[in-house]
Amino acid sequence: MSMIEIAGLNLSFGTGAALNAVLHDVDLRVAEGEAFGLVGESGSGKTTVLRCLAGQYQHWSGQLRVAGQAVTRKLPLNHYRTVQMVFQDPYASLHPRYTIDAALQEPLRIHGIDGRAQKVSEILRKVGLNDSFRFRYPHQLSGGQRQRVAIARALILRPRVLLLDEPTSALDVSVQAEILNLLADLRRQEGLTYLMVTHDLAVVAHLCDRLAVMQQGRVVETLDSHLLASDGATHAYTRLLVQASRDIQRIPIAV
């Protein structure tokens, strides 16, 4: 069964002469338990697809289904318990005036779930933190720790789908690896489905089973991620991306 089904998704902003079409007939299918990467250059519409799924934009047209349920204009509360999102910048995604404890309890309060203190404690341990972090403010944590808290906040409602919007691009290289390993472990433990947006093909190759390449609001190619390494990409744009990624990795050695 497909966990995420996107069919003929169109989205545009503005009207008349200022009309700016952002997505053109995007089709994607992500199986349950799969990690699916969405790559492409800046402005290709990757993040926009995530935000449509999360329910942040309402004026799209097409068909969106998550866990068999159609995503509608007015979302029921249980949609948010199925789909959660982790943001790119861990410095901006946590409320600066609330402690970690309050930030993690907030989703439980919204959904009227009891036993909050214990759940917060559990989820912190699950993301590799512990109770000593509970009553600190975000500015007292490092970037990697904040991203762990953001992941904990997304997971505390026990979602089945996690939308990851470049979850490692704002972090140090060494911390990136920690977070990626954490995400891989969590997916295995919880049977989560990932839809991850990224620039970084190495991250996709590491974490994802399949990926889609987007360019100017269209999906140009969908392929298995192991084909990236073995030059199995067929579309010219995908090959360009792969080549660019290799060139970047070669630069430090050349210098």
x/- map, 15-54, another protein, by CB under 8 A: ---------------------------------------x
Q: Is 53 exposed, middle or buried (0-12, 13-18, 19+ CB in 10 A)?
A: buried
Contact criterion met (CB below 8 Å) for 212 and 219: yes
Figure out which of the listed residues 59, 95, 226, 246 binds another protein, where binding follows CB under 8 A: 95
When binding is defined by CB under 8 A, the residue of 44, 93, 147, 215 that contacts another protein is: 93
Binding residue count for another protein, defined by CB under 8 A: 51
Among 26, 39, 79, 228, binds another protein (CB under 8 A): 79
Q: What are phi and psi of 250, to 5 degrees?
A: -80, -25
Look at residues 220, 153, 162 and name the one whose alpha carbon lies nearest to residue 189: 162
Least distance from C-beta 91 to another protein, angstroms?
9
Q: Which of residues 104-123 bind another protein (CB under 8 A)?
A: 106-107, 110-111
Residues in 139-168 at the binding interface with another protein, rule: CB under 8 A: 140-142, 144-145, 148, 150, 153, 157
Sign of CA dihedral 169, 170, 176, 182: negative
Cα-based distances in Å from 232 to 219, 238, 244: 17, 10, 16
Nearest approach, Cβ of residue 251 and another protein (Å): 30
